[in-house]
Amino acid sequence: MKPYTLPLFPLNVVVCPGGLLPLRIFEARYLDMVRTCLRNKSSFAVVAVMPEGETDPEGYFPFANIGTLVDIVEADVTTVGLMNIRCVGRHRVKIDSYIQQADGLVVGQVTDVVNDLESAIPEDLESVVTSLQNLLTSLPASGVASENMPVIQPYQFENAAWVANRWVELLDLPLLQKQRLMQLDSPVLRLELIHDILYENPRNKF
pTM: predicted TM-score of the whole model, two decimal places: 0.91
Residues 109-126: pLDDT tens digits?
999 999 998 999 999 999
- Dist CA 37 CA 55 (whole Å): 28
Q: How many CB atoms lie within 10 A of CB 2?
A: 5
Residues 66-95: pLDDT tens digits?
999 999 999 998 888 999 999 999 999 999
How confident is the model at residue 60, as a pLDDT?
A: 80
Q: Does CATH place domain 123-204 in 3.40.50.300?
A: no
Low-confidence residues of the chain, pLDDT below 70?
53-55, 57-59, 201-206
- Dist CA 136 CA 134 (whole Å): 6
How confident is the model at residue 1, as a pLDDT?
A: 77
Decide if 4-113 and 123-204 have a common fold. no
Superfamily (CATH) of domain 4-113: LON domain-like (2.30.130.40)
How confident is the model at residue 206, as a pLDDT?
A: 41
Domain ranges (residues) in the chain: 4-113, 123-204
How confident is the model at residue 50, as a pLDDT?
A: 86
How confident is the model at residue 116, as a pLDDT?
A: 93
At a CB cut-off of 8 Å and minimum separation 6, what does 7 contact?
33, 36, 37, 44, 45, 105, 106, 107, 108
At a CB cut-off of 8 Å and minimum separation 6, what does 191 contact?
121, 122, 125, 128, 160, 163, 164, 167
**CB-CB contact of 68 with 15 (8 Å):** yes
